[in-house]
Amino acid sequence: MANIALIIAGGSGARMHQDIPKQFLTVNERPVIIYTLDAFQRHPEIDEIDVVCIDGWESVLRAYASQFNITKLKYIVPGGSNGQSSIRNGLFELEKHHQADDIVLIHDAIRPMVSAEIISDCIVTTKKHGNAVTVIPCAEAMMETEDGSCSTGSYPRERLKRTQTPQAFRLGSICDLHRRALDAGITNSVASCTLMIEMGEQVFFSSGSEKNIKLTTLDDIDIFKALLAAKRSDWLK
């Protein structure tokens, strides 16, 4: 049974307002996507890495993978019109080459600080329950709003989890879910976990981290740089 990392790098990163996709931005002389790929490259339980890549950047990705010794990279798959279709493209390609019981960990290319512990717990939970969604507790007070500018109600935070990636599944099960979703006319679910819920399925939680940030804005790049600096100083007690 194989553990496959499917890295989703199909987005253009419009909210970052940069000239190149955010997953290819360079931070400390390394592209963001290389930090992400390297986390799975180094993990002993990951057998293969595949990437859903934004159109036109495939050769750049191959060159970076060669330069930074990402030897587990195998397939590069074209992205789709949205996140759900990009993930589906990747999964349906993997289905041609792997067994239904293999585990696929779907991960955002722009979450470069994913740790070995997060990956391991995701795999363990999937082996136990059939799927795993990486989550962290909701620490803030949560306000309900109708118009986005004011609130007259709150929601109990202990009933909420903040989702991250990776989100892992048995390959056959998640491919079947995507086919059923297409038949049901569901084409733009925001994440694999939301697609599961929309299709009436139960999801199970694995442990994430506040450090497992998603690089969406320029502020996130600043936080990422600070986390990298802190990681280099881990030996300081």
Mind listing the pLDDT tens digit for each residue in 11-50?
765 666 677 899 999 999 999 999 999 999 999 999 999 9
Q: What is the pLDDT of residue 19?
A: 79
Contact 5, 74 (CB under 8 A): no
Mind listing the pLDDT tens digit for each residue in 44-84?
999 999 999 999 999 999 999 999 999 999 999 999 999 99
Q: Taking Cα atoms as reference points, which of 121, 98, 93 lies closest to residue 212?
A: 121
Determine the 3-state secondary structure of 66 from DSSP.
helix
DSSP H helical segments within 96-209, as ranges? 116-129, 171-183, 192-198
Contact 123, 36 (CB under 8 A): no
Cβ-based neighbour number of residue 222 at 10 Å: 10
| CB-side neighbour CA atoms (13 Å) of 211 | 13
Q: What is the pLDDT of residue 237?
A: 47
Mind listing the pLDDT tens digit for each residue in 88-132?
999 999 999 999 999 999 999 999 999 999 999 999 999 999 999
- Using alpha carbons only, what angle is made at residue 79 by residues 77 and 84, rounded to the nearest 5 degrees? 115
